[in-house]
A and B are shown apart, each in its own frame.
Chain A
Amino acid sequence: MIAVVDYKAGNLTSVMKALRAAGADPVLTDDPTVVHCADLIILPGVGHFAATKVLEEYGLKTAIRDRIEAGIPFLGICVGLQWLFAGSTEAPGIPGLAVFPERCDHFEPGKKVPHVGWNSLSIRPESRLLSGIRNNSFAYFTHSYRAPVTNVTAAVTDYDEPFAAAVERDNVMGVQFHPEKSGEAGLRVLRNFLEWRPC
């Protein structure tokens, strides 16, 4: 069962539709017991990092952590990627899942923010999530905060400064862009995730 976690932030119609187009039959849920039974977990996200506090309140954070530790594939989208880090200056009092120890921060000043539109992906060749996607393919972004480039970065995008467009470590994956709005490349990311199996 493929669980799409609903934490009452934004519009999930497009994510559900794209997953169906990628061949999945996703279940939209805010119930931790459903997440506990999931074989794949997707955490979409639009809006403010503070919205992720609902994950804690509903008991979803513990459920997701347990499933990740059990080896279940997890994909965070946009704020869902940022939530994998220790936190964000967007909501300093709200901790993330801290799978990765760094923090997310606002873009440096001197340019238009949010970063909205199609930007290119510099893809690490060993990425499994992005396999089959041509290097420098475009993806659709809309965000004001970004995750740093580290050794778990699967793709780098440049907006006057490099940031993590995708992260990947074993069964934990995240994309800063919106695969549901990134045309064929985006659908390929979703299919890669749906077909992900342990090495």
Chain B
Amino acid sequence: MLTKRIIACLDVRNGRVVKGVQFVDIIDAGDPAELAARHAAAGADEIVFLDITATHEGRGTLLDAVRRAAQQLFVPFTVGGGIRTADEAAAIFDAGADKISINSAALARPQLIGEIGAKFGAQAVVVAIDARRVPDRPIADAEVFVAGGRKPTGRRAVEWAREAEGHGAGEILLTSMDSDGTRAGFDCELSAAVSEAVQIPLIASGGAGNAQHFTQVFREGKADAALAASIFHFGIADVRTLKMELQRDGIPVRLPC
């Protein structure tokens, strides 16, 4: 049986894993290659690096971190954050990533999805969507934001997901901005709305706080995979413990792993 994937996400800035606390302070959480290897050993089904570096020099550092992490990773490895062109994507694949994730650049020019897909396969292109509910409106009206969630686009998340699929996206990574960082659970209603609108796999993100939240997003949220960052840091919960709880709940997971 196809299992539900648990994806560990690392925010990388200037070649280091960082973690925001209370949405403001950024604290150093370690070496990306080392943490990626640790998550994989603990049973993460995939690893995602999200680059939050702003500077050009930092991008070179990212490629080095990707290269080092890829050396010891034998599970799928996705890299996203700031990728604007097919050439930038090619450099990241060359450094050892299996998939890239694109967000703003795909919205600005959806053809980019197909251009990267033509060269590296549709399976290698993840389209990331940051969405927020619109108060007093149905879930289908949830709006897409770009620029790290600062800029509204006027696009509806469900429609954009469908369009991205039409352009050849391999998977959708959907982050609920309302839930992100709350640890109060995923936005299952939003996840289900997008998942049911597309044929390709949906990765849900934002709001993971405990195992029950994952069970909910797989059952009610119709997610094929779920991504979490902060709960896997600092030993709050490791992936194996999480998977054992999910298995007890009857969710198919890769165990032993």
Which residues does A use to contact B, with CB under 8 Å? 9-11, 13-14, 17-18, 21, 46-48, 112-120, 138, 140, 142-143, 158-159, 180-184, 186-187
Contact = CB atoms under 8 A, between A and B. Distances in A.
B1 A119 contact: yes
B93 A13 contact: yes
Contacts, number: 93
Contacts of B225: 117
B199 A112 contact: yes
23 contacts: A9-B121, A10-B120, A10-B124, A11-B120, A11-B121, A13-B70, A13-B93, A13-B95, A14-B96, A18-B74, A47-B120, A47-B121, A114-B200, A115-B2, A117-B4, A117-B45, A117-B201, A140-B76, A142-B170, A181-B75, A183-B74, A183-B75, A187-B74
Interface string B39-77: 010000100000000000000000000000011001110
Given A113-B199, A117-B5, A21 B74 contact: yes
Contacts of B121: 9-11, 46-48
A180 B73 CA distance: 9
Q: Is the contact region of chain A dominated by helix, strand, or loop, or is it mixed? A: mixed
Contacts of A187: 74
Nearest to B96: A13
Contacts of B2: 115, 117-119, 159
B171 interface: yes
B244 to A, nearest CB: 15
Contacts of B171: 116
A138 B170 contact: no
Contact of B3 (A10, A113, A138): A138
A48 B118 CA distance: 9
B11 interface: no
A182 B3 CA distance: 14
B187 interface: no
A118 B254 contact: yes
Nearest to A159: B2
Interface string B101-143: 0000000000000000001111110000000000000000000
Contacts of A181: 74-76, 98
Contacts of A142: 123, 170
A187 to B, nearest CB: 6
B200 A11 contact: no
Given A117-B2, A187-B74, 5 more contacts: A10-B121, A11-B120, A117-B5, A117-B201, A140-B45
- Across the A-B interface, give the 9 residue pairs with the lowest CB-CB distance, nearest first: A47-B121, A46-B121, A142-B123, A118-B254, A11-B93, A138-B254, A119-B2, A116-B201, A10-B121
B74 A186 contact: yes
